Structure 1
Amino acid sequence: MPSTALVLLNRPSLAAPAHVDGAPAHRFVEPDEPLVNVLDLGVTRGDGVFETISVGYGSIQALDAHIARFAKSAGILEMPEPDADAWRDAVQAAAAAIDPVDEAYVKTIMTRGIEGDDRPTGWAYAAPALGRATARSEGIRVVLLDRGYRHDVRQTSPWLLQGAKSLSYAVNRAVIREAHRRDADDAVFVSSDGYLLEGSTSNILLRFGDRLVTPGTNLGILAGTTQGDVFDFAVTQGLEVAYELLPIAALHEADAAWLLSSVRHAAPIRAVDGTPKPIDRTFTDALNDFLLHRTK
């Protein structure tokens, strides 16, 4: 079996024609085979959506939640609705095609397609997930960066596409480079009026005693599939959970904090703007054990 696999969809959306009439719903192609047209709007404009889905010990995790968020992002961008069944089959096929490993991921990408055409382009790519253990065990250093928008930007300026997981990730990559310049590993976005938002590619989770809190998705941040599963787990552990409007001071005051994402899972925050923060190692280990062994 190969270490990576790439599946190309023939008809990513039922709202658009197939690329090849009568062809199978998807086909395997070589990952290094040239496939994307230079006029594809995903390349020329970053016009598309994506998801990254964790695979733990062969089990695809939170697949339905990822497919639903994929469709929501496409809707925000006014793209054709992804065919949920076709994408689910493509993800499962890609994940099953690679060498068995403890941790892997499948990335789904749907672009608006070639400029002037009305057919989206879509593929699913599976590969091992490497190099995450250190962040989980030792924690990460974060810096706070102003996103430049008020916390209510989703209501005041919906055309800014806040809350969509789009291919336009230049800003997300730029903040990582800025974090590195500041001797940190990652960044946490804050609103221009002083509220916590999200990480560069993650949701933020705070613990206050027996309560876990995270910013609400009405702030124009991405709804977290991992965060949702963490809340479900926390309830089984007798903890309270809540979505709240959190001022910046809450991060400093919290007993512990994490960045949550599909592949890195729960990375404890060990410093904020250079100020050390305690790590709750026991709960961190419990979170990651739960996340790594999810069966759906």
Structure 2
Amino acid sequence: MVVLVAGGPEGPRPRVHPAGEPLLLADDLAAVRGDGCFETLLVVGGRPAKPERHLARLARSASALGLRGPTADQWEAGMALAAREWGPESEGMLRLVLSRGPERGGPETAYITVAPVGPHAVRARAQGIAVTVLGRGFPADFAASAPWMLLGAKTLSYAANMAALRHAAANGFDDVVYLSSEAEVLEGPRSTVVIARSGGLVSPPAEVGILEGTTLGALAEVARRDGVPVHRERLLLSDLLTADAVWLLSSVTLAARVRRIDDVTLDGADPGIDVAGMVDRAVGRA
């Protein structure tokens, strides 16, 4: 399903666009250059999960790209329409897309899609995942010195991330953890790294050039109410290998426990922190 969202304060209300009919022009810069940004969130019980966090991050990404986009109210109206059309019977993957628009010139393009949650996400929640470690090739402080690289923005330029995931799959892994050139832990291609250690949760800080995780932020609120401390600090691969548990968090898969890192099988003992349960509560699944 596709919902077309108009930009600008005077734009029309969002409307359902037939999924089988063309939407983008052939020279739309989303298609030809990946010049735009997006957000993906879960639809649970007919409602989008943590939309305010995603809209705030989308606004930051759009600002970094010099895009205006629809107003927050217009996006919210589009998400509400998309979620109603999807219905409460099953979970959905809702994606907000903002493109610079046609290369020849013209207004920005903004739309929303909703699709079923894939079986790989359901399997990762239930069974956990094996990940491989790959170098990203940047130092951990690169984002601060090279803002034009857009390392903290969720852009449509995902070819390298998808190539990393295909490389992982070809070698028998489910996902990837990126390291900086100094071997600091960064993030996954579509996820945030979190470890359990000494009764608390730890995740790398945004300052190392990673996307600020909306699921991590929602989890942190629930964790603090439960008396579980959440810290942001720089991590090395050794911290993952010696942690009480490791997860990759994302908005659709939610919490996937890491069972193996390359050829090292991690301790599968109960870490004493129900991260999956807290994430479920944070997004309205429990």
TM-score category (smaller protein): over 0.9
Aligned twin of 1:84: 72
Matched, 1:7 2:3: yes
Match of 1:93 among 81, 92, 115: 81
Aligned twin of 1:21: none
Unaligned stretches of 5+ in structure 2?
none
1:291 is displaced (CA, Å) by: 4.2
Deviation digits for residues 9-35 of structure 1 (CA, Å, limit 9, x no counterpart): 222x44xx85xxxxx322211112111
1:158 is displaced (CA, Å) by: 1.1
Match of 1:109 among 97, 100, 115: 97
Measure the CA separation in 1 of the matches of 2:280 and 2:155.
29
1:22-171 alignment, distance < 5 Å: 24-131=12-119, 132-171=121-160
CA RMSD of superposed structures (Å): 1.8
1:94·1:126 contact (CA, 8 Å) conserved in 2?
Answer: yes
Matched, 1:212 2:201: yes
Secondary structure in 2 matching 1:279:
coil
Aligned twin of 2:259: 270
Normalising by the residue count of structure 2, what TM-score does the alignment of the two structures yield? 0.93
Match of 1:252 among 241, 247, 255: 241
Measure the CA separation in 2 of the matches of 1:81 and 1:90.
13
1:269·1:279 contact (CA, 8 Å) conserved in 2?
Answer: no
Against the structure 1 CA distance between its residues 92 and 151, is the aligned structure 2 distance closer, same or farther, given a 3 Å change threshold? same
Deviation digits for residues 133-161 of structure 1 (CA, Å, limit 9, x no counterpart): 22112110001100000000111111111
Aligned twin of 2:183: 194
Deviation digits for residues 82-141 of structure 1 (CA, Å, limit 9, x no counterpart): 411111110110111124323112111010001132410010112222322221121100
Measure the CA separation in 2 of the matches of 1:88 and 1:280.
41
Number of corresponding residues: 283
Measure the CA separation in 1 of the matches of 2:115 and 2:278.
23
Measure the CA separation in 2 of the matches of 1:37 and 1:238.
51
Deviation digits for residues 22-59 of structure 1 (CA, Å, limit 9, x no counterpart): xx322211112111001111111000110011111223
Against the structure 1 CA distance between its residues 134 and 280, is the aligned structure 2 distance closer, same or farther, given a 3 Å change threshold? farther
Unaligned stretches of 5+ in structure 1?
19-23
Aligned twin of 1:175: 164
Measure the CA separation in 1 of the matches of 2:242 and 2:35.
39
Aligned-residue identity in percent? 36
Q: Which amino acid aligns with 1:152?
A: D
Measure the CA separation in 2 of the matches of 1:291 and 1:44.
37
1:6·1:28 contact (CA, 8 Å) conserved in 2?
Answer: yes
Normalising by the residue count of structure 1, what TM-score does the alignment of the two structures yield? 0.90
1:110·1:120 contact (CA, 8 Å) conserved in 2?
Answer: yes
